[in-house]
A and B are shown apart, each in its own frame.
Chain A
Amino acid sequence: EAGVAQSPRYKIIEKRQSVAFWCNPISGHATLYWYQQILGQGPKLLIQFQNNGVVDDSQLPKDRFSAERLKGVDSTLKIQPAKLEDSAVYLCASSLQASKNTEAFFGQGTRLTVV
């Protein structure tokens, strides 16, 4: 079974530039998450999708971050404009369903450095 795929693996941008990350979840997984992991900290949920609808985006800085999950499969996370404090690893995860707790599978993440 293929895992959660993310690209790119690494990205370096200047502050005020824009960047986009892509995630392809495990086939058949209805729930998709984007997490932000700052160095030395645990992952922090940015947004959770159930199919192509948003379940929770309460911690997404909506003035600069946006995410979409077209057709309930792939997802993109965009930052525009980026700030220095956005430097982090952005993790995508997916799980089979949201009606009861099931394992979340993580991708390898995209390491973003904002200079």
Chain B
Amino acid sequence: QQQVKQSPQSLIVQKGGISIINCAYENTAFDYFPWYQQFPGKGPALLIAIRPDVSEKKEGRFTISFNKSAKQFSLHIMDSQPGDSATYFCAASNFNKFYFGSGTKLNVKP
């Protein structure tokens, strides 16, 4: 059973555009929702994370929107740049046990 569902599988955005990746979860016990960025040949690296007591968190060009009632959260990348081209994974965690989504491969065209 997949604990975290992520969409889309792939995304192409023009430079300067907004990239949006969505995730949904079922287990209401999850209390930490990180997003990881992974470049080819590298391990995932934490990009931004949110706890369910807030509805939005912004760090630079990256924003997480969190809807607790709908059990959904999303990553918005504003002013997308070619350097943002990578695979993005959402995750949900409880007691430091992380469940990952299937990933979104983002390609930002110059």
Contacts and interface: CB of A to CB of B under 8 A. Distances in A.
Given A101-B31, A101-B93, A103-B49, A44 B41 contact: no
Q: Majority SS of interface residues in chain A?
A: loop
A42 B102 contact: yes
Interface string B70-110: 00000000000000000001010111111111110000000
Contacts, number: 61
Interface in A66-115: 91, 93, 95, 97-98, 100-109
Interface in A40-81: 40-45, 48, 55-56
A108 B41 contact: yes
Interface residues of A, number: 27
Contacts of B6: 42
Contacts of A55: 97
Given A101-B31, A103-B34, A44 B100 contact: yes
A20 to B, nearest CB: 19
Contact of A31 (B4, B34, B96): B96
Given A40-B103, A42-B102, A4 B43 contact: yes
A49 to B, nearest CB: 11
16 contacts: A40-B103, A41-B103, A42-B6, A43-B100, A45-B98, A56-B97, A91-B43, A91-B44, A93-B43, A98-B95, A101-B32, A103-B34, A104-B96, A104-B98, A106-B44, A109-B43
Given A42-B91, A42-B102, 15 more contacts: A4-B43, A31-B96, A41-B102, A45-B99, A48-B97, A55-B97, A91-B44, A98-B96, A101-B32, A101-B51, A101-B94, A103-B34, A103-B46, A104-B34, A104-B98
Interface of A: 4, 31, 33, 40-45, 48, 55-56, 91, 93, 95, 97-98, 100-109
What are the 4 closest A-B residue pairs judged by CB atoms, nearest first? A106-B43, A42-B100, A101-B32, A98-B96
